[in-house]
Amino acid sequence: MDCLFCAIIDGDIPSRQVYADDTAVAFLDINPLHRGHTLVVPRLHVSDVLADPETLSLIAPAIQRTGRLLVERLGADGMNLLVNSGAVAGQEVFHLHVHLIPRYADNPGMRGLLQRSPAADLDEVQRQIVGS
């Protein structure tokens, strides 16, 4: 099976990982909407959130822990969680993933969600989150 996120989970394609546990891996989105934009993906391949009744709840602890990490380390003021299901909804990678999009007081509200922020230095953002 040819799946980008399975390849990232297996380490065959590099990513900037910020959290991992038995159920999920979290890494920075390569094209962030806001500073610290992170994807939480289940280790098991599931194509999308509607394909399986268990997977989203299985990775809920990883989502919460990653979210706390982003808020605490990046000083975010809030966060959007986003799951796209199906191409018409904007899903481009067909391995279930939850977008964790930290939000900051200088650009608030839903209307600011999809306005791309200035290109972030992803290596610096990763260092700030994982503390190395």
- Is residue 97 flagged as an active site residue? yes
Residues 57-86 binding ligand 5GP (CB under 6 A) are 84
- Closest approach of Zn ion to the CB of residue 122, in Å: 22
Residue matched to tokens 């268990």: 54
> Which residues does 78 contact at the CB level (< 8 Å), separation at least 6?
102, 103
- Site for Zn ion contains 16 (CB under 5 A): no
Query: What is the maximal distance between C-alpha atoms in the chain?
Result: 42
Smallest distance, ligand 5GP to C-beta of residue 87, A: 9
- Rounded to an integer, what distance in angstroms lies between the CA atom of residue 25 and that of residue 18? 8
Q: How many positions of this chain bind ligand 5GP (CB under 6 A)?
A: 13
Our finding on whether 3 is near Zn ion (CB under 5 A) is yes
